[in-house]
Chain A
Amino acid sequence: EIVMTQSPATLSVSPGERATLSCRASQSVSSNLAWYRQNPGQAPRLLIYGASTRATGIPARFSGSGSGTEFTLTISSLQSEDFAVYYCQQYNNWPLTFGQGTKVEIK
């Protein structure tokens, strides 16, 4: 099983500032990596797939990068709805696995 490790566990950022989230895979997942945002009480929403492709309707302030074992999600200017929990997920091997999540909170 591929283990996905996200860091940090919690990130404190002011509105309008930049946030950088990391995700590391225990073995290469190529570019088969997705990112999701989950707001309280809601289902997760796809942000990025293929490590760097924004999903339909996702604003340009979200960008993804990386390949192999190291990945980054960058939110260029945090809006109120971006204070949430973010998960990475690999889809290179069965079983599909998620990171444990990074909570982005208001500083």
Chain B
Amino acid sequence: QVQLVESGGGVVQPGRSLRLSCAASGFTFSSYGMHWVRQAPGKGLEWMTIISYDGSNEYYADSVKGRFTISRDNSKNTLYLQMNSLRAEDTAVYYCVKSGGGSGSYPNFNWFDPWGQGTLVTVSS
């Protein structure tokens, strides 16, 4: 079955960087768009970014544009999120999510299914 396993979370100081990874299995990784969605403690869900199946297209929420970079290595079935200039408001559980039906080049078919278990990032001095 489809599995998404995030890693790389932890405690980091404001202004520093962190890279998250997501190991995918159980499906043809190179055929699907992949997302990162986050959830601050006690808050709702916030979509952050998507990368298309082949890495040729990326889209970002305004809140992370210019600071975060999504990438993928289809040879390793792995998704990444490079987070720079971290702020206290970036504290959240970060979920790796597979596009439900799309390659990721267009918004259509981009429901989220399934989700990883999440990794917690805490930005604090």
Residues of chain A lying within 8 A (CB to CB) of residue B117: 43
Q: Does A95 sit within 8 A of B, measured CB to CB?
A: yes
Whether A89 and B95, one on each chain, are in contact in the complex, defined by CB atoms closer than 8 angstroms, is no
Residues of chain B lying within 8 A (CB to CB) of residue A49: 100-101, 111, 113
| Number of B residues with CB within 8 Å of any CB on chain A | 25
Q: Does B21 sit within 8 A of A, measured CB to CB?
A: no
* A94 CA to B95 CA, complexed, in Å: 19
| Number of A residues with CB within 8 Å of any CB on chain B | 23
Residues of chain B lying within 8 A (CB to CB) of residue A91: 107-111
Whether A94 and B111, one on each chain, are in contact in the complex, defined by CB atoms closer than 8 angstroms, is no
Residues of chain B lying within 8 A (CB to CB) of residue A43: 95, 114-118
Whether B44 and A32, one on each chain, are in contact in the complex, defined by CB atoms closer than 8 angstroms, is no
B17 to chain A, nearest CB (A): 23
Q: Does A45 sit within 8 A of B, measured CB to CB?
A: yes
Whether A95 and B44, one on each chain, are in contact in the complex, defined by CB atoms closer than 8 angstroms, is no
* A29 CA to B124 CA, complexed, in Å: 38
Whether A36 and B47, one on each chain, are in contact in the complex, defined by CB atoms closer than 8 angstroms, is no
* A39 CA to B116 CA, complexed, in Å: 14
* A55 CA to B113 CA, complexed, in Å: 9
* A44 CA to B118 CA, complexed, in Å: 10
Q: Does A14 sit within 8 A of B, measured CB to CB?
A: no
Residues of chain B lying within 8 A (CB to CB) of residue A94: 59, 107
User: Which of B44, B47, B62, B113 contacts A96, CB < 8 Å?
Assistant: B47
Whether B110 and A96, one on each chain, are in contact in the complex, defined by CB atoms closer than 8 angstroms, is yes
Q: Does B89 sit within 8 A of A, measured CB to CB?
A: no
* A98 CA to B112 CA, complexed, in Å: 11
B109's nearest neighbour on chain A, judged by CB, is A91
- List residues of A whose CB falls within 8 A of some B CB: 32, 34, 36, 38, 43-46, 49, 55, 87, 89, 91-101
Query: 9 closest A-B pairs (Cβ-Cβ)?
Result: A34-B111, A43-B115, A46-B113, A49-B111, A91-B110, A96-B47, A98-B45, A95-B61, A94-B59
Query: What are 10 pairs between A and B in contact, CB < 8 Å?
Result: A43-B118, A44-B45, A45-B114, A49-B101, A89-B45, A89-B47, A89-B112, A91-B107, A95-B61, A98-B46
